Chain A
Amino acid sequence: MDRWALVSGLQGDLDLYEQIQKELKQQRGVANLFVLGDLIGSQHNCNALLERLRQPHRADVQPECIYGWWEEQLLAECGYRGERKADGLREEQGEAAVGDLLAAVDADHLNWLASLQFGFIELDCALIHGSSADVSDRLTEDTSALVLLDRLTRLDVNRLFTARCQRQFRLELFSGSIQSHVKDHAGEHQSEQAIPKRSVIGIGGGRQYTLYDPATDHIEFRIAEDPSHASGRGFG
């Protein structure tokens, strides 16, 4: 069966990416690898990972990438978002982090990063970094179900996979209803709307990644082995 691997928050860590690739090869039937943003960060030099993602090895499960919060910061700072700058990053981590980020990514990767999409729609699933409202939207299992339902509705999907919160969870909206009463010039009418069965899935970030089987709707939350330990123990 063709399963999907969902990864995010690599932040330039090529060793981690190679470790995950290794684990995916050991798993049977993983056909798609979706990298839901934050390919880059300010901590590592990101160029080697970006080159690998852009030009995968033949044996790699071929990655499909979208942009995330860190890409948004870099692209904004480099003038790809009109007047906006890396305001979010400045606010959270200060000026130095902006400088580190600029230094971590070569300018010749910018156009490729700018070409990445906001999200993918696969079958009835949306694969997104934050949410349908914004790349920085941090959805967790504690977010109001009303907000989660709205984010699902905006894309008209049954499952929304999100990475921004870096948590692994599955939240299923499975029942409920609401009454709507409308009065306008034509008269009044009342209707009831029921909750469709829908889910929001946090795929995790960094070493945490998720496998999903669209045929059975089965989800497996995984943690990659620490690459330094793994190679020490002689894998591969």
Chain B
Amino acid sequence: MNHAVISCLHANLAAVEAVLNDIDSQGIKTITCLGDLVGYGPQPNEVVELMRQREIPTCQGCWDEDIIDGLNACECSYPSQLAERRGHRAHHWTAAQLTEENKAFLAELPMTLRRDKLLFVHGSPNSQHEYLLPDMNAYSALERVETAGAETLFCGHTHQPYVRELRQGSIRVKVQQRDQDIPTEHELELPMRRIVNAGSVGEPRHGSSKATYVIHDDSTGEVTIREVDYDVVKTCEAIVDAGLPVVFAWRLSHGFEYAERAEDASHVCER
């Protein structure tokens, strides 16, 4: 059976509607959402209400948590002062817009969702704020899935969709104890595990401005990364009309994140 996984909606209603249409048109009935319904984008209430109305199982993203607990709850270190100030502006705007009912909904979202051997999280099983990037150390990536007791881990947060399979892993170790003269050796055979990143519906940053999500066939294990066109201009106009920083519209329309992460911001001054 096919099911769809969406993540990082970021209050971008036009993108969410386009993705849901794309899912519906394929006759897919099961949808799971990995959080960050709000933040940066101009329609936080509309997006939360749409998810509530469609009763889509959702786990809590870092933005959903912070909008409830205040900025102090956020462990995310912004990559730069500029990103931090913009993030705070978006936070205050969003907090002021959201209705109490929608805030209560976000507050009660679970950290993780589990279906059999599938685990759904926003960032990683450890934290909503941890980035599981596709080039993360392969053993550490496997450790996240394995320690959480899952076979396939669905995550978001990085806004870059990918499917990663970790296989044929092994570790040989030698143990020396205080009262033993001769060390013992053994080998750990590691199981095959997968990480599927659903990308971002409302704030794509994979080199294009199209919304992304994934479809997983749980009988064959096949994963398809979908890219969906939506009316970017409409969302950009809404950003400007809402009084959010104009540069957010520019970044969104170019497929850059509203506030970039450190990885792509460090090239100037590191040498």
Contact = CB atoms under 8 A, between A and B. Distances in A.
Nearest to A222: B178
Interface residues of A, number: 36
B195 to A, nearest CB: 9
A153 B227 CA distance: 34
Nearest to A201: B176
Given A169-B176, A195-B171, A221-B178, A146 B206 contact: no
A173 B169 contact: no
B172 A183 contact: no
A58 B166 CA distance: 55
Contacts of A180: 138, 141, 164-166
A189 B137 CA distance: 15
Nearest to B164: A182
A179 B168 contact: yes
Contacts of B208: 185
Q: How large is the interface on B (under 10, 10 to 19, 20 to 34, 35 or more residues)?
A: 35 or more
A145 B170 CA distance: 9
A193 interface: yes
Contacts, number: 124
Contacts of A141: 175, 177
Contact of B163 (A144, A175, A183): A183
Interface string B128-167: 0000001101111111001100000000000011111111
B206 to A, nearest CB: 5
Given A147-B147, A185-B207, A174 B140 contact: no
A176 B172 contact: yes
Given A146-B143, A182-B134, A172 B163 contact: no
A133 B144 CA distance: 12
Contacts of B170: 176-178
B188 interface: yes
6 contacts: A146-B143, A178-B166, A178-B168, A178-B190, A180-B166, A183-B164
